Amino acid sequence: MDLQQVRNDLKQRLPQERYEHVLRVTATAVELAKEVGVSVEKAEIAGLFHDYAKFMDKEELHDLLKQDQEYDLYSQYHAELWHAPVGALLAKERYVVEDEDVLQAIRFHTTGRAGMSPLEKVIYIADLIEPGRKFPGIEDLRKRINGQSLEDQMTECIQHTLKFLVHQYAVIFPYSFDCYNEHVRRRK
Ligand code: DGI
Ligand code: FE
Ligand code: FE
Ligand code: FE
């Protein structure tokens, strides 16, 4: 795959700020992948595509989502979640990304799920902690995950996301709870 072509496409599709987020997520994911022994090549592709569908309008996203096996589930939850499965769909259709692990990493970067692969966790964590993220508590989160195993970093990150969502009374996608429960069960 011509990654420069993917970057040019992203630059056209996304506002500058979001495009820069994508580059920082990709760089963060590549670093983390090296640390934990995940394929750097896959981390780079998944990082670049993770928000590919982020700025499509809701009608277009909804139309594409209809092709998804889990349309019935996703359509009951916030439209903000749809860019993840649709991003995976477009990476496959337009760029012939066929690696299932890469596609799942794009698909579950927003919600997480139970049974995430190491690559999926790398992308989830990188998306949350990339150096441009400014939300309250981010410094504390970065400190807590520093030097931890990939599993423990993921536990901290999914806990952070759920706390944040519950705090604003958001309706939560069930896979996020599954992810949280799985990580908390294995926590020592
Ligand atoms: O696309 P990004 O902004 O880089 O980050 P993201 O894809 O991880 O999250 C996008 C948004 O989705 C973010 O504002 C948090 C929100 N979100 C994540 N999980 C859930 C959720 N919103 C609801 N309502 N329910 C969820 O389970
Ligand atoms: Fe996203
Ligand atoms: Fe995220
Ligand atoms: Fe993102």
Rounded to an integer, the average pLDDT of 116-132 is 98
- Say yes or no to pLDDT of 144 above 90: yes
- Provide, rounded to the nearest whole percent, the portion of the chain with pLDDT above 90: 97
pLDDT tens column, 71-114: 999 999 999 999 999 999 999 999 999 999 999 999 999 999 99
Judged against a pLDDT cut of 90, whether residue 130 lies above it is answered with yes
| 171 C-beta closer than 6 A to ligand 1 | yes
Q: What per-residue confidence (pLDDT) applies to 151?
A: 97
> What's the whole-number average pLDDT of the chain?
97
Task: Give the residue ranges of DSSP H helices in the chain.
Answer: 3-13, 16-36, 40-49, 58-65, 71-74, 83-95, 100-107, 118-129, 138-145, 150-167, 174-185
pLDDT digits (tens, 9 = 90+) for 41-59: 999 999 999 999 999 999 9
pLDDT exceeds cutoff 70 at 188:
no
- Is the pLDDT at 61 greater than 90? The verdict is yes
Quote the pLDDT of residue 56.
Answer: 97
Q: Is 51 in the pocket of ligand 1 (CB under 6 A)?
A: yes
Q: How much is the pLDDT for 179? A: 98
Which residue from 50, 55, 80 has its CB within 8 A of the most atoms of ligand 1, so it is best to mutate? 80
pLDDT of the residue at 153: 98
Write the DSSP string, 106-139. Answer: HHTTTT--TT--HHHHHHHHHHHH-TT---TTHH
Q: Give CA–CA dist 139/150, Å, rounded.
A: 18
Mean pLDDT, range 156-185, rounded to an integer: 98
Please tell me the distance between residue 81's alpha carbon and the centre of ligand 1 in angstroms: 6
Check whether domain 3-134 has CATH 1.10.10.410, yes or no: no
Q: How far is the CA of 111 from the centre of ligand 1 (A)?
A: 7
Extract the tokens encoding 33. Answer: 């992948």
Centre of ligand 4 to C-alpha 69, Å, is 23
Is any ligand 1 atom within 6 A of the Cβ of residue 172? Answer: yes
The token pair at 161 is 């996301």
Given a cut of 90, whether residue 187 has pLDDT beyond it is: no
Q: Is 54 in the pocket of ligand 1 (CB under 6 A)?
A: yes
User: What spacing in Å lies between the alpha carbon of 144 and ligand 2's midpoint?
Assistant: 23
Nearest ligand to the CA atom of 124: 3
Compute the average pLDDT of residues 163-183. 98
